[in-house]
Amino acid sequence: DAGVIQSPRHEVTEMGQEVTLRCKPISGHDYLFWYRQTMMRGLELLIYFNNNVPIDDSGMPEDRFSAKMPNASFSTLKIQPSEPRDSAVYFCASRGPGGHEQFFGPGTRLTVL
């Protein structure tokens, strides 16, 4: 298995632009998590899905952030419009049915100028 796949690995954009981050979870996993990591706040859970359904989005910082999971093998995290304070590393993780461990992707490093 290729593990959790994220794209792009690096994204540099200008303030006000729309940013879309993509994630492919491990095949067969039914939970998908989106995290943001910054030096100041560490890893924070933004939203998670179970069987493609958003369960808890209380960590999404603002309405500028949205996430979708149209099918079991794909999820997106969108920021519109982006701001410099959104600069961070965004991780996607997945977990299998009845499993306890989360498996993380390599992350997307976002820089908003």
Q: State in angstroms the smallest separation of the CB of 16 from another protein.
A: 27
- What does the per-residue mask of binding to another protein show for 48-87, with x meaning CB under 8 A? x-x----xx--x----------------------------
Kindly state whether residue 103 participates in binding another protein, applying the rule CB under 8 A.
yes
The sign of the dihedral angle between the CA atoms of 16, 60, 6, 42 is positive
Q: How far apart are CA 59 and CA 91, in angstroms?
A: 14
Q: State in angstroms the smallest separation of the CB of 46 from another protein.
A: 11
CA angle 45, 55, 107 (to 5 degrees): 35
Kindly state whether residue 20 participates in binding another protein, applying the rule CB under 8 A.
no
Q: How far apart are CA 86 and CA 108, in angstroms?
A: 12
* CA-only gyration radius of the chain, Å: 13
Which residues in this chain contact another protein in the complex, by CB under 8 A? Answer: 4, 31, 33, 42-45, 48, 50, 55-56, 59, 91, 93, 100-107, 109
